[in-house]
Chain A
Amino acid sequence: MFRFNPNRKAVEKGFLFTIGLLTVVAVLPLFYILYTVTLKGLPVILKRGTIFFTGTFSEGGIGPAIAGTFLLTFLSSLIGVPLALMVGMYSYENPRSVLGRWTKALLEIMMEFPTILVGIFVMAVLVIPMGTYSAMAGAFALVIILLPYVAVYTHEAMRGIPFTYKEAGYALGLTRIKVLFRILAPMAKRGVLTGVLIGIAKAAGETAPLLFTAGGLYESYPTSITKPVGTIPLLIYQLIQSPSPQDHATAWGASLVLMVIFIAVFIPLRMSLKEVKL
């Protein structure tokens, strides 16, 4: 397979150099992004002060978008997390049945599914019948986004618990639901919580599923779940396409806010774990 090559030492050096170089190339964009977003976003936030976080769009702030992001994330986890827990537990409980395996496969496919399709699906089933964009539709789209993450993490966390605990539970004469919720679920708490946080982080940063569902609301705070609502990513997307430099400045400031929220949630989470699935 390998012929004798008098340049083996040189090839070796070149190889190690290339590996090192490509590693730098792989992570360099992250630093470039962190640097640019801070450089462009920070002056905007400093100049506008607290107005940036609380004010409406015409006052130079992104308050409604921040509120909308929290509202949608809250609503979608309120609906999505309990459903996902059930789904995760079901696929854990039925690893060999056809339906159980299909469930697991479906979850993995949903994790990789193009998110824009979720957006136009929800538009077709909720927005068009209701005749308006709404927080409800946005939250529904985000439920579909976060559900597979929470479910897969729940499944993995419960699978990591030694089988003897389950046996012990049954030996005490507990019912299956008691074993699942009173013994296994508390033990898998950490893994489940991780899944919930990752699902929420994903949902909070999504733009595509909200494009045609949430609508956007930046001049006043959201008041009703049947009315349109704005979020930070959606606002940034709309502002980038505007020609005005003032709007671009707001977009950079909003990007910094979004990035800081993401990193504040993600880094501590990731530090406490060996690996994550994204």
Chain B
Amino acid sequence: MEVMRKLDVFDIVSFPVILVIFLLFAGMLFVFFKNALPALEHFGIDLYIKNIWQAASVPQKEVYGIAAALWGSFYTSLIAILISLPISAAFSVFIVDYAPRGLKNTLAILSDVMAGLPTIIYGIWGAFILVPFLRHWVMEPLYRYFSFIPFIHYPPVGGYSYFSAGVLLAIMITPFVSAIIREAYQMIPFTYREAAYAVGATKFEATRILLGYIKPAMVSGIILGFGRAVGETIAVSLVIGNTFNLTYKLFAPGYTISSLIANQFGNAFLYTYMTSTLFAAGLALFAIGLTVNIIGIHMLRRWEKNVQV
């Protein structure tokens, strides 16, 4: 039981600071909610489930529905995770199990450099190098020979598409996801490794067993990586094509919530409901970000607690 003690100088100084931080967060939620309210009242649930973007100088003619952006955020992040997961897992296994000591450290440093690199650098590289590269070497050949497959059935005209955004996001979140998996993979007690090899498992079989052991950590890596990808704004808005397009076709241009905000907020004040609509979009992103991160962080902590016996 905690004994009640007298408040000292530290409490008096630090408590207001903590209060400010919490108020700031609550304030954010309040500001988003308050500013989103006009659009929520005016359009109702249609705002989130319809795909329409009709700006007009007369408020009565304005109609907005951000379904395409919601879908785009989900779809690009999903593509990113699907690409990133095998790479992150292999990368972690290589660093922990197979890399020689010197290389191990170098690879970890490179990965951290990638995680910290300003996103605008990914953005400029993505827009000017990666998109033309993907269009020429991946999208066009696939479209030419495999366009009977539904996902690929869209002419990659500019190359700016869900696919490009997904690939760029995959590159950006891989160091982050692999850091989580690597940390977990390192924490596996050595006896498990010994046991796997003692029963005659090959390296492949041993790795499969060990990766099975850290499955919860991998799941939280996926969730947190997804959270990162959903929130990423700058790089995505430069490669996704910024078009309202509600489709599963990989090579079609699209929108994400964050790129929609980045792209439209500047001129939104000319219209009556657009600002409010964008705040409503932000509110959705707020909710997604909060939920995803709370679940991811919680799972990771619980797993870590279980491992540290």
Contact A99 B18 (CB under 8 A): yes
Q: Is B228 an interface residue (CB 8 A)?
A: yes
CB < 8 Å neighbour of A255 from B17, B18, B120, B286: B120
In the bound complex, do residue B113 and residue A267 qualify as a contact, i.e. CB atoms below 8 Å apart? yes
Contact of A208 among B117, B127, B262, B289 (CB under 8 A): B262
List, in ascending order, chain A residues with CB within 8 A of B265's CB: 120, 123, 211-212
Q: Are B238 and A120 closer than 8 Å at their CB atoms?
A: no
Cβ B285 vs Cβ A207 within 8 A: no
Which of A16-24, A43-51, A218-226 makes up part of the contact surface? A16-24
Output the least CB separation between B79 and chain A (Å): 16
Dominant secondary structure of chain B at its interface with chain A? helix
Question: Could you tell me if B113 and A30 are in contact, using CB atoms closer than 8 angstroms?
Answer: yes
Quick check: is A171 within 8 A (CB to CB) of the other chain? no
Within 8 Å by CB of B122, from A15, A16, A33, A115, lies A33
Most-contacted residue by chain A among B15, B93, B123, B278 (CB, 10 A): B123
Q: Say whether B198 faces chain A, with CB atoms less than 8 Å apart.
A: no
Q: Is the CB of A207 within 8 A of B118?
A: yes
Contact of A103 with B18 at beta-carbon distance under 8 Å, contacts A26-B88, A33-B125, A270-B112 already known = yes
B residues in contact with A117, CB < 8 Å: 28, 32, 231, 282, 285-286, 289
Q: Which residues of B lie under 8 Å from residue A212 when comparing CB positions?
A: 265-266
Task: Answer whether residue A70 sits at the interface, using C-beta atoms and an 8 A cutoff.
Answer: no
Given A11-B202, A109-B297, A278-B116, A90–B121 Cβ distance below 8 Å?
no
**Contact, CB under 8 Å: A15 / B204:** yes
In the complex, what residues of B have CB within 8 A of residue A2's CB? Answer: 201, 205
Contact with B along A103-116 (1 / 0, CB 8 A): 10110111011111
B interface footprint on A195-239 (CB within 8 Å = 1, 0 otherwise): 000100110111110011000000000000000000001001100
Which residues of B are in contact with A by a Cβ distance under 8 Å? Answer: 2, 8-10, 13-15, 17-18, 20-22, 24-25, 27-28, 31-32, 35, 86-88, 90-91, 93-95, 98, 107-125, 127-129, 171, 174-176, 178-179, 183, 201-205, 207, 224, 227-228, 230-234, 238, 258, 261-262, 265-266, 278-279, 282, 285-286, 289-290, 293-294, 296-297
Could you jot down 20 A-B contacts, CB within 8 Å?
Answer: A15-B207, A27-B114, A36-B128, A36-B129, A90-B14, A90-B15, A90-B17, A106-B25, A109-B294, A112-B227, A116-B261, A116-B262, A120-B278, A175-B9, A198-B116, A207-B123, A255-B124, A262-B117, A275-B112, A278-B179
